[in-house]
């Protein structure tokens, strides 16, 4: 009888100590780590090198800090204007409000493509 109690005590001890340790290593039923990893294609943007687009200034929304330039192929591109954006109209420095008078003029935009939109580094409008 004593021996049976000893075996049962030992079995209970092993169950109480070992089970939580094993459960820590096993992934949970809804755990994302348990699912096989899906191969995703990630689009990487090299933010150290701005891209350049030449086209025609189609629309300027100064309140939204947005400039739309249409490429030679007729594709409109949106550009966010920030405080760091350098704007040049002819030979003069300008502001986003000055671009409103430059619609239908040729422009060259240096920008950084990001997930949240194209950020204009510089806008150069030719007169």
Kindly report, residue by residue over 47-106, the tens digit of the pLDDT.
Answer: 568 899 999 999 999 999 999 999 999 999 999 999 999 999 999 999 999 998 899 999
pLDDT of residue 115: 87
pLDDT of residue 13: 64
The tokens describing 111, both together, are 């920008």
31 lies in some domain: no
DSSP string, 21-61: HHHHHSPPTT-GGGSPPPP-PPP---TTS-EEEEEEEEEEE
User: Rounded to two decimals, what is the model's pTM?
Assistant: 0.62
Q: Specify the number of domains making up the chain.
A: 1
62 lies in some domain: yes
63 lies in some domain: yes
95 lies in some domain: yes
Q: Summarize pLDDT for 104-125 with one digit per residue, the tens.
A: 999 999 999 988 899 999 999 9
56 lies in some domain: yes
75 lies in some domain: yes
57 lies in some domain: yes
Q: Summarize pLDDT for 5-42 with one digit per residue, the tens.
A: 566 666 656 666 666 655 555 555 555 555 555 555 55
Query: Which CATH number goes with the domain that contains 105?
Result: 2.40.50.320
30 lies in some domain: no
What is the biggest distance separating any 2 CA atoms in the chain, rounded to whole angstroms?
104
pLDDT of residue 106: 96
As a whole number of angstroms, the distance between CA 103 and CA 100 comes to: 6
- Residue 114: domain span: 51-125
pLDDT of residue 10: 64
């Amino acid at each position: 009888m004593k021996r049976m109690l000893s075996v049962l005590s030992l079995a209970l001890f092993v169950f109480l100590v070992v089970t939580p340790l094993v459960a820590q290593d096993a992934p949970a039923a809804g755990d994302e780590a348990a699912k096989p990893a899906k191969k995703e294609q990630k689009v990487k943007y090299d933010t150290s090198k701005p891209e350049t687009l030449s086209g025609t200034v189609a629309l300027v929304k100064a309140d939204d800090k947005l400039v739309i330039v249409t490429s030679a192929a007729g594709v409109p591109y949106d550009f966010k204007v920030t405080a760091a954006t350098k704007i040049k109209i002819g030979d003069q420095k300008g502001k986003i409000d000055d671009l409103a008078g430059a619609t239908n003029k040729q422009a060259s935009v240096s920008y950084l493509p990001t997930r949240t939109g194209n950020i204009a580094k510089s806008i150069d409008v030719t007169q």
